[in-house]
Amino acid sequence: MWLWLLVLLGLWLLWRWHRERQMVPGLEDKFVLITGCDSGFGNLLARQLDARGLQVLAGCLTESGAARLQAATSSRLQTVLLDVTSSSSIAAAVAWVQERVGQRGLWGLVNNAGTATPSAPNEWLRKEDFMALMNVNLVGLIEVTVSMLPLLRRGAGRVVNVSSMMGRISAFGGGYCPSKFGVEAFSDSLRLEMYHFGVKVSIIEPGFFNTGITHAASVEKVFLKYWERLPDETKASYGDKYWKDYLANMNRANRCCNPNLSMVTNCMEHALTSRYPRCRYAVGWDARLFVIPLSYMPSAIFDAFFTHLYPKPAQRG
């Protein structure tokens, strides 16, 4: 019996491998809009797709980021200034994309723009701190996607949303984890709604990768700002050692991040170019072997693991 199960598993894996190797024809005529192309995943993906011959429309937050990307790519790639937290900027980008794609519609939208700060214990943050991050990672992603849907439906195209393994487990405070949980929920509902229009929706779930969006010096500066504005009673409850250990843990985690960003961008490229893209792409061994199994375990096991890693406050209940 076990032999037959192994044979069936092998045949299924072979079939899946063959299916996922089938590419969409005519890629050189496909337009793909990518947000957050100044650096990190977005910058690398824009260069990667440009080298493959696609018509890349790169959304950059800054003029300097756009100029650097333009200088490193072919004349096919076009850049547009896009701030995903600004409705007027998004509307201008939609009109700009419409002019370029015409009646063909938009083949791909990669919602890559994101930030990881501010991240700190929840009690240390205010509503505006949460919203500053949510407006980029979630609200901006939603507005860009909804605004581009008419063009995507016309092109029967693809939506690729960059989430995170922190969209499965919430291991630290601040708006990052809630924003990624939101990306997962929005993507799932959008995938169902777009099915009959022929628009496919994929979620990218990277583990810990070094994208350069957090730097030790800047993290410490922001972290100290939150600590210093706390009431004296709250500071006494946590203690000086707490924030120092918390910051040390964050810096330690950043140093362990995977520098090979192409692992993520290769999955993005597959979601855009394969005839049969996956609904979810978990990227990195930490994601597949640690976070995904942990996300299915009882909360007691999850809590026992992470409370052991958390620093101990000066005053305990």
Q: Where are the domains of the chain?
A: 25-214+260-307
Collapsing DSSP to helix, strand or coil, 58 comes out as strand
Provide the 8-state DSSP code for 137.
I
Six-digit token pair at 12? 């299924």
- pLDDT, tens only, 162-204: 999 999 999 888 999 999 999 999 999 999 999 999 999 999 9
* Cβ contact 174:129 at 8 Å: yes
pLDDT greater than 80 at residue 316: no
The answer on pLDDT for 59 being more than 70 is yes
Residue 6 is predicted with a pLDDT of 83
Question: Which of 49, 63, 145, 142 lies closest to 97 in space, CA to CA?
Answer: 145
Q: What is the CATH number of domain 25-214+260-307?
A: 3.40.50.720
pLDDT at position 43 is 97
Task: Report the pLDDT value the prediction gives residue 202, as an integer from 0 to 100.
Answer: 98
What lies within 8 Å, CB to CB, of 293 at 6+ separation is none
Look at residue 216 and tell me whether its pLDDT is greater than 60: no
DSSP 4-31: HHHHHHHHHHHHHHHHHTPBPS-GGG-E
Q: Residues 176, 238, 242, 246: which is the catalytic one?
A: 176
Mean pLDDT of the 32-42 span: 96
Q: Is 195 a catalytic residue?
A: no
Which pLDDT does position 7 carry in this prediction? Answer: 79
